[in-house]
């Protein structure tokens, strides 16, 4: 990663992996090298039944402003699309802004959640970074085989096969699962999370309730500690914290991480609730 750009803040915010800097290793081959025993498309996820209700609806939207070292660097949007083909796309899009607006940066991360299990079927990260570097990282989950294929298309175009435990999430799905779960003070929730080609065990801990003031207003919020495991110069000095509104909506109102080289924060600027689908009258 080339310097503290918006990519850093978003990587903190929702765990989007930075571009690969190492040569491919392990069971890698060309882009068409998905293993023969896997189905041509990811199948519906086989896991626990879907909860009776979720705190989001189609067209829900959260807009956030991203600061690094107290300087506005970008804006982001988390949006829930309408379900298609049995999956609900959750989209995180971002762009440079403020003092960083002279530097081109765009990123779109889409996680497709199965409407029954709420586990990701696939995720796609498209990014244009400072200097014009473009890359696309795609993951497809094959739940019955406990595998995922990860394609990294940038300076190289390689596909990897990764072992994934049952119920493995991506970071966008992790945040949305936290929105569904009970969050009493002191509670912990453990997840297996695929980021890039690595599956990590992430233990989210509910820290406390507190008031949070944002440009979108004041919120009674639940503060949750979510270690992301970044290393190097962007290692976490402290774990990432996510504040959810302490109500049935569980809106993401703030995200914060202290890097070894400074703090990045994403703060809610506006919220649009989702809309229930209305069946046409017969």
Longest pairwise C-alpha distance within the chain: 61
One pLDDT digit (tens) per residue for the chain, 282 residues: 333 344 444 444 444 444 433 333 343 333 334 444 465 445 444 444 444 478 999 999 999 998 877 778 788 899 999 999 999 999 988 877 765 555 567 788 899 999 999 999 999 988 887 677 888 999 999 999 999 999 999 989 999 999 999 999 998 999 999 999 999 999 999 999 998 899 989 999 999 999 999 999 999 999 999 886 544 444 445 678 999 999 999 999 999 887 666 678 899 999 999 987 665 565
Cα(160)–Cα(175) distance, integer angstroms:
25
Tokens of 114: 């199965």
Residue where the block lists tokens 């709420």? 118
Tokens of 169: 């999430």
Q: What is the pTM of this model?
A: 0.80
Phi-psi region of 34 (alpha: psi -120 to 50; beta: other; left: phi over 0): beta
């Amino acid at each position: 990663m080339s310097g503290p750009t918006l990519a850093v803040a978003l990587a903190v915010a929702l765990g989007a992996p930075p571009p690969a800097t190492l040569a491919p290793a392990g069971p890698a081959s060309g882009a068409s090298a998905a293993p023969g025993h896997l189905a041509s498309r990811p199948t519906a996820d086989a896991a626990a039944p879907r909860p009776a209700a979720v705190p989001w609806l189609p067209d829900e939207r959260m807009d956030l402003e991203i600061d690094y070292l107290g300087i506005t660097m970008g804006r982001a949007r988390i949006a829930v699309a309408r379900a298609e083909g049995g999956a609900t796309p959750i989209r995180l899009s971002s762009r440079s802004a403020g003092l960083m607006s002279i530097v081109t940066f765009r990123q779109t991360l889409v996680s497709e959640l199965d409407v029954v299990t709420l586990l990701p079927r696939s995720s796609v990260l498209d990014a244009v970074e400072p200097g014009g570097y473009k890359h696309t990282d795609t993951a497809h989950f094959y739940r019955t085989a406990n595998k995922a294929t990860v394609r990294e298309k940038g300076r190289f175009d390689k596909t990897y096969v990764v072992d994934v435990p049952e119920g493995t999430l991506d970071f966008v799905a992790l945040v949305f699962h936290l929105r569904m779960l009970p969050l009493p003070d002191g509670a912990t929730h453990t997840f297996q999370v695929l980021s890039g080609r690595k599956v990590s065990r992430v233990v989210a801990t509910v820290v406390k309730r507190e008031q949070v003031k944002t440009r979108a207003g004041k919120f009674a919020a639940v503060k949750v500690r979510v270690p992301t495991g970044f290393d190097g110069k962007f290692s976490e000095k402290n774990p990432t914290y996510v504040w959810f509104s302490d109500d049935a909506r569980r809106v993401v109102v703030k995200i914060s991480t202290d890097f070894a080289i400074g703090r990045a924060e994403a703060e809610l600027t506006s919220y649009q609730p989702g809309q229930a689908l209305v069946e046409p009258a017969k």
